[in-house]
Amino acid sequence: MATFRIERINKEMLREISEILQRRIKDESVKKVILTGVECSRDLSYAKIHFMLLDPSEKEEVNQALTNVAGKIRGMLGKMMRLRHIPELHFFYDHSEERARQIDALLDRIAGKDGGGESRA
């Protein structure tokens, strides 16, 4: 369980990284990213940044572009945030929306087999 301090740092990093990607990084492929969350380790040595895309077919290209600019983003974060140590940034594609769609489709299929989900008394 993350502490209150780590949760605040996660939210601040999410906000700052979003700002950096939209305004300071010139690579157009990283501007397509929608950040969904940041998870820092307790010792702030590692941060997982979760992202989504409107077009999932580009995820490999965008993930590589994000990996390439991770050092530059980390340097900018060091100047923006008041932390002694800025974590090493690692980007991961967030599959939660795809999973939610699959679950929704399964629930719709189940509801269709039950005849609308109404019970007879």
Residue 61 lies in a domain: yes
Task: Answer whether residue 100 is part of any domain.
Answer: no
Domain extent at residue 87: 4-95
Residue 17 forms part of a structural domain: yes
HSE-CB at 94 with a 13 A cutoff on CA atoms is 17
pLDDT-derived band at 121, boundaries 50, 70, 90: very low
Asked whether residue 104 is domain-assigned, the answer is no
The enclosing domain of 74 has a CATH number of 3.30.300.20
For the beta carbon of residue 40, count every other beta carbon within 10 angstroms.
Answer: 20
Question: Half-sphere exposure (CA, 13 Å, Cβ side) for 71?
Answer: 1
DSSP for residue 68: H
pLDDT in tens, 92-102: 999 888 888 89
pTM for the whole structure? 0.81
Domain count, the chain: 1
Residue 103 inside a domain? The answer is no
Torsion, Cα 42 46 47 50, to 10 degrees, reads -120
Q: Is residue 117 part of a domain?
A: no
